[in-house]
Amino acid sequence: MVPAVSFRPRLISALAGYDRARFTQDLGAGLTVAVVALPLAMAFAIASGLKPEAGLFTAIIAGFIISALGGSRVQIGGPAGAFIVIVYGIVQQYGVANLILATTLSGLILLAMGVFRLGTLIRFIPVAVIIGFTNGIAVLIALSQIKDFLGLTIPKMPGEFFGILHALGTHLNTLNPWALGVALGSLVIVVGWQRWAKKVPVIGPILPFGDKLSSVPGSIVALILATTAVAVFHLPVETIGSRFGGVPASLPALTVPDLSWDSARHMLMPAVTLALLGAIESLLCARVADGMVGDRHDPNQELMAQGIANIASPLFGGMPATGTIARTVTNVKSGATSPVAGMVHALTLLVVILVAAPLASSIPLATLAAILMFVAWNMGEWREFTRLGSYRVPYRVTLLAVFLLTVVVDLTAAVEFGIFAACITFIYRISNLTRSERMTADVYPALAGREADIQVWRLYGALFFGAVKLIEQLEDHLPARTLVLDMKNVIYVDSTGAEELENLVHACHKAGVRLILCGLMNQPLDIARRTGLLGALKEELQPDVAAGVAAATGSEPAPPAAG
């Protein structure tokens, strides 16, 4: 049965009681986030093999839609660093036209996930998998920026790990010291700005806003200073203008992708990868935001908004979009109270494109590379590597394998392996928790002298395909007359477990052994009813093990002996 679709953006409830004071807070937060998003949007697009405006268009269109239609009160959407490796690979292998198609398909997948209420399933992806591929993506982002950080002349950068290493190694002789100097200076400013700005004193009319400087993002300061230095001193470094011809001062025309099956079938797996990564990133980001503002997002509404945004963004030259943690945290710390702040951030970027686009031509690519290096460092959870010794072997193997596969192979293979390994580990652990315990005359005195004829076993855990060995062992060692199974502590029985119980019934009938089941609860009782197991047992069902022992021994039901 298809669940009823509930489409209710968080904006509707957030506007209840909305006043001028809240709008002022949202306006300030939106403007601040736009300042942070401006260099990141261009940097993410360039690192993905696209023109810088693709990132800006995405931040404007997708950012506005995610805020207006999403299920979080303060989440900011737009291009994200996590997509860089995937998007670059798609562009290199299939071209920009097919990236548009893959993004559109990923939007449709996200929309369907939200409609069918699959938002909560994303939380089932193990932490080891998430940390592994997040750290792997961070390494690849940093690696991909070495070219512009050093100012190397490489006609076309490969998309795979070993190809990147080979290209960098064979072109080190083209190092541009001016570009390296700009990149290092920019990185120092990005890293140290917040610390330095807090120490700047307020000096009357000279520095009246000294105490406010720390609120200015270091990336913007580095961008302004580096761009000014390159323009004033005519430094021989590559800029947005020299590589891309600048940024257009308008939004692009509507472009409808080719949705033919021949094209779509080749892009299905990349689209699924984009959709899953987008879902994971956005819902993790929303959970971080919830913790900061004391709220709870609607994961299904968020996925629907992400889907609509990823359908609309590529129609206007955009790239994949998702929730972004850095910009969302900035939004919260800047005092945002509603999705209006995210909408203001998108509209601010639109104004910047329409008014100040020509200024972007002088931005040095070395500075954007430095900003992305900083993003990659903050993106990774590097402390987890130093803490691996405190975790079990399956966790360590999963995290390291996903990390290495992400770096060396690709993200799709890494996530597939990670989820597979996590499932195998889970099955193994649950099967080990499923156990049996034989009840003796010490517990049930009525069994005294009759334990060769009557066996009483208490089962614990889940009776599923990974733990049916318990039933098989009982089949191999049947008592002479009666087998009593206490199922009160069995919390789950799957179809394989039910089938094995039926085999036990048949084995007992064939051997002339009476089988009594006791204490079937909820789900086990329901599956026994649906599979016909209840009919096969007929009167051999008892409410508890005491009644089962009494039925087996012909005595009055009695509680187990103390101790």
User: E strands along 302-405, which residues?
Assistant: 322-323
The ranges of the chain with pLDDT < 70 are 1-4, 198-215, 538-539, 556-563
Residues paired with residue 209 on neighbouring β-strands, in sequence order:
none
Q: In angstroms, rounded to a whole number, what is the distance separating the alpha carbons of residues 15 and 311?
A: 26
Sequence-distant (6+) residues with CB within 8 A of 35 are 216, 217, 220
Residue whose C-alpha is closest to residue 299's, from 321, 272, 281: 281
Q: Provide the pLDDT for residue 528.
A: 87
Given a contact cutoff of 8 angstroms between Cβ atoms, the answer to whether 362 and 245 are in contact is no
pLDDT at 206: 45
Residue that the structure tokens 């208490």 belong to: 458
pLDDT score at 291:
87
Give the C-alpha separation, 32 to 192, whole Å. Answer: 19
Residue 103 CA to residue 297 CA, distance in Å, equals 24
Both tokens of 68, joined, read 């207006």
Q: Is 145 left (phi over 0), alpha (psi -120 to 50) or beta?
A: alpha
pLDDT on residue 538: 66
Q: Is the pTM of this model over 0.85?
A: no
Helix H or strand E segment including 4: none
Q: Which residue has the tokens 């403007």?
A: 31
At residue 28, the pLDDT reads: 93
Tell me how far apart the alpha carbons of residues 413 and 544 are, in angstroms, rounded to a whole number: 49
Coil/strand/helix, residue 364? strand
Whole-angstrom distance, CA of residue 535 vs CA of residue 128: 45
pLDDT of residue 211: 53
Q: Which of 485, 483, 487 is nearest to 452 (CA)?
A: 483
Tokens encoding 400: 């390291």
Burial of 271 from C-beta contacts in 10 A (0-12 / 13-18 / 19+)? buried
Its CATH class, for the domain covering 434-553, is alpha beta
Q: What is the pLDDT of residue 126?
A: 85
Measured in Å, how far apart are the chain's first and last C-alpha atoms? 50
Residues in Cβ contact with 473 at an 8 Å cutoff, skipping those fewer than 6 apart: 436
pLDDT tens track for 159-204: 889 999 999 999 999 999 999 999 999 999 999 887 787 666 544 4
